[in-house]
């Protein structure tokens, strides 16, 4: 579904994935509609870091408040797809600047009003975070904002959930009070208190906005244990 070219079939697969299979697009659009992001009615500059195939950048380019978006992604293949996706969305091509960059070296050439990380920070390894936030602080204008969207956190009850899962599968599973990062994708399941500590350490104030339902599977049953321990959210952060 991420492999998009100029064909309508490939774009239809992407749209099915982000609108029907998952809640990626509606949850991102909810975040993007938040008035707190827009300090002025036009001329805003955005850095979309870890943009993937940049469907998020294409949607942001449709906003009249935004005049330029730096689309930062380390994969050349995904940046190629990003060009095609922008065309499918009829996004103004002149607003989009594609950069082959990383969390640690985003290569943004000017200050920006908004830094956007959509479904990105949970792929960021702990050792990468200080440099990422150093870059964000250096690129944001004084009243700029950091938007984290399509993200998740767990609360302390999640450890109890893991404990009971361990009992259920004993002795075939070792006890772990947290879910370790995925070694291939780098996906992290972080506790909210861990995120709070990170943001405080990096000099940001954060406001969380919880979202309903399973982000990654629209048809999955959202069980009571999921509601109790797991939260999907977007957040807006400002420098202290």
pTM for the structure as a whole: 0.92
pLDDT digits (tens, 9 = 90+) for 139-155: 999 999 999 999 999 99
Contacts of 227 (CB under 8 A, 6+ apart): none
Q: What angle do CA 139, 143, 146 make, to 5 degrees?
A: 60
Residue written as tokens 């449709």? 62
Q: Is 202 within 8 Å of 130 (Cβ atoms)?
A: yes
pLDDT digits (tens, 9 = 90+) for 51-83: 999 999 999 999 999 999 999 999 999 999 999
Q: Is 158 within 8 Å of 231 (Cβ atoms)?
A: no
């Amino acid at each position: 579904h991420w492999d998009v070219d100029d064909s309508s079939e490939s774009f239809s697969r992407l749209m099915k994935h982000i609108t029907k299979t998952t809640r990626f697009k509606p949850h991102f659009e909810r975040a993007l509609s938040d008035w707190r992001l827009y300090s002025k009615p036009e001329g805003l500059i955005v850095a979309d870091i870890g943009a993937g195939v940049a469907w998020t950048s294409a949607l942001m380019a449709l906003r009249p408040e935004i005049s330029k978006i730096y689309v930062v992604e380390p994969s050349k293949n995904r940046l190629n797809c990003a060009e095609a996706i922008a065309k499918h969305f009829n996004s103004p091509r002149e607003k989009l600047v594609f950069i082959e960059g990383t969390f640690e070296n985003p290569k943004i050439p000017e200050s920006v009003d908004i830094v956007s990380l959509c479904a990105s920070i949970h792929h960021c390894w702990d050792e990468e975070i200080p440099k990422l936030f150093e870059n964000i602080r250096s690129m944001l204008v004084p009243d700029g904002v950091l938007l984290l969207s399509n993200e998740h956190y767990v609360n302390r009850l999640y450890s109890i959930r893991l404990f009971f899962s361990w009992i259920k599968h004993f002795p075939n599973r070792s006890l772990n009070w947290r879910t370790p990062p995925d070694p291939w994708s780098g996906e992290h399941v972080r506790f909210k208190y861990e995120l709070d500590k990170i943001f405080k350490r990096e000099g940001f104030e954060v406001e969380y906005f919880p979202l309903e339902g399973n982000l990654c599977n629209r048809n999955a049953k959202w069980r009571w244990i999921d509601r109790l321990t797991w939260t999907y959210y977007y957040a807006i952060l400002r420098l202290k």
